[in-house]
Amino acid sequence: MKFKKEIDTISKLISRHSGQTVLPEYDLRIDSIPSEQSDNIELYHLVLHQVLFRCYQGRYVLLPKVQETSMEEFNAYHDLRERCGFSNLQSSIEKKLITPEIGTAYELVERLSFLEFLSDVSSELDMNAENEFITFLENNERRKDYYRNFLLQSSSDLLAEASASALGVVGDYGPAQSVLFRVLIDEFGYGSFEKKHSSLFRSTLEGFHLSTNYNHYWYLFDINTFKLHNFIHHLFQNPRNFFLQLGFLIYAESSYQKSTKQNYLYLKRHHPEVDSTYFAEHAHIDIHHSSMVLDEVAIPLAEKFGRQAEIDIMAGISATQQTFKEFGNQLLNVSKVFNILADSGAVSYGLDESISASENCFTPSMMAQTIQSCNACSLQVGGIGALRDPSDFCQFPPGTLGRETRQ
């Protein structure tokens, strides 16, 4: 375990400074790796992703909503980040967890024709229009619990939606920059706080009685949730990745216009009391964003910068497609396993907000190693509910996170 010593040092420093009452925006905690689990790769990757997650978030201005916040808390957060050395670890963890997957995407696309690739991706999105998660929900009486988990896992990025991509807009790069700035203006609600996409998303979270605080649920995020967040932030925090960023934007805007429409219709059908403006807005505006990014930014810039720019854009699309797919599969597979266990009455549905980040976390392979010594009463799985018998957690797909509960 290459970073074990650094992780232990960070964990100790943080636990000395943050108690249960730490504001979610300034929470720097990561899970620790117990010595008996020091060879568990799944846990190791989860914790490294948590470190990266903390690295990237330090790049943004985060001011909590609570009235009594002091400048001391704000300064302490930034000082502690510095002392933990998060930024020193960033590039070495990226090399381990993020760049190899982007490398695979390059191998897949390096010989492909740019325009043919773009047209294939577009027809694939049209052909695979079915959203398997929504189909699963349609036939399930506990759909509300599974959908709550979808919102919770998505909150990792959507509560600061477009802050990552804003970093790709700053600079000086001609007419394409102004097109991306127009997209950004839409994402930020054309200067109106109520219309900002993250504000619209907050309203949907409220409809499911979820906290709207940035970072609030980090301790229930699956590894694929961290992966998706960190992949996006890795791309946008480095200008060297500009053409990969364009690939991300093309795929994200094009796939989002379809998935948001499905989510909008789903909410209207099954949860009409919940505000679905976030999804309605995207189903409409992302049609424009897709063509703006493709026709007014990516294609003209690829013509100007040539073959390497084309390859970077295609690799960005391919890596995004793969990361989105993994996130979607994880969500669906976790829901399916939970649902099978529910049939035998081995679960309780719901999210108990008293569960705390300081309880131990488990991955399925950890549980398989420690069934005998696990003395948790039950295990919370994301925002869905809890397993009455923690040993059932071994059946979940790799990368799922379970958090001990004492009730």
Question: Given the rule CB under 5 A, which residues bind Fe ion?
Answer: 187, 197, 286, 289
CA angle 231, 107, 101 (to 5 degrees): 25
For 155, the token pair is 């909150």
Closest C-alpha to 50, from 78, 27, 74:
27
Q: Given the complex with Fe ion, which of 145 and 161 has the nearer CB atom?
A: 161
Q: Minimum distance between the CB of residue 36 and Fe ion, rounded to whole angstroms?
A: 44
Q: Given the complex with Fe ion, which of 168 and 364 has the nearer CB atom?
A: 168
Distance of alpha carbon 6 from the chain centroid = 24
Q: Given the complex with Fe ion, which of 248 and 338 has the nearer CB atom?
A: 248
Q: Minimum distance between the CB of residue 278 and Fe ion, rounded to whole angstroms?
A: 8
- The DSSP H or E segment spanning 380 is strand 378-381
* Amino acid, single-letter form, for residue 23: L
Q: Given the complex with Fe ion, which of 221 and 279 has the nearer CB atom?
A: 279
DSSP 107-152: HHHTTS-HHHHHHHHHHHHHHT---HHHHHHHT-TTHHHHHHHHHH
Q: Given the complex with Fe ion, which of 286 and 312 has the nearer CB atom?
A: 286
Q: Minimum distance between the CB of residue 281 and Fe ion, rounded to whole angstroms?
A: 7
Closest C-alpha to 27, from 210, 217, 222, 164:
217
Closest C-alpha to 316, from 237, 257, 246:
246
Q: Write the CA distances from 97 to 197, 237, 306, integer angstroms.
A: 29, 16, 29
Where do runs of H (alpha helix) occur along 58-98? 71-84, 86-97
User: Dihedral through CA 211, CA 379, CA 374, CA 337, nearest 10?
Assistant: -130
Q: Minimum distance between the CB of residue 285 and Fe ion, rounded to whole angstroms?
A: 6
Q: Minimum distance between the CB of residue 205 and Fe ion, rounded to whole angstroms?
A: 15
Q: Minimum distance between the CB of residue 217 and Fe ion, rounded to whole angstroms?
A: 20
For 247, the token pair is 């690939």
Q: Minimum distance between the CB of residue 161 and Fe ion, rounded to whole angstroms?
A: 5
Q: Given the complex with Fe ion, which of 165 and 363 has the nearer CB atom?
A: 165
Q: Given the complex with Fe ion, which of 292 and 319 has the nearer CB atom?
A: 292
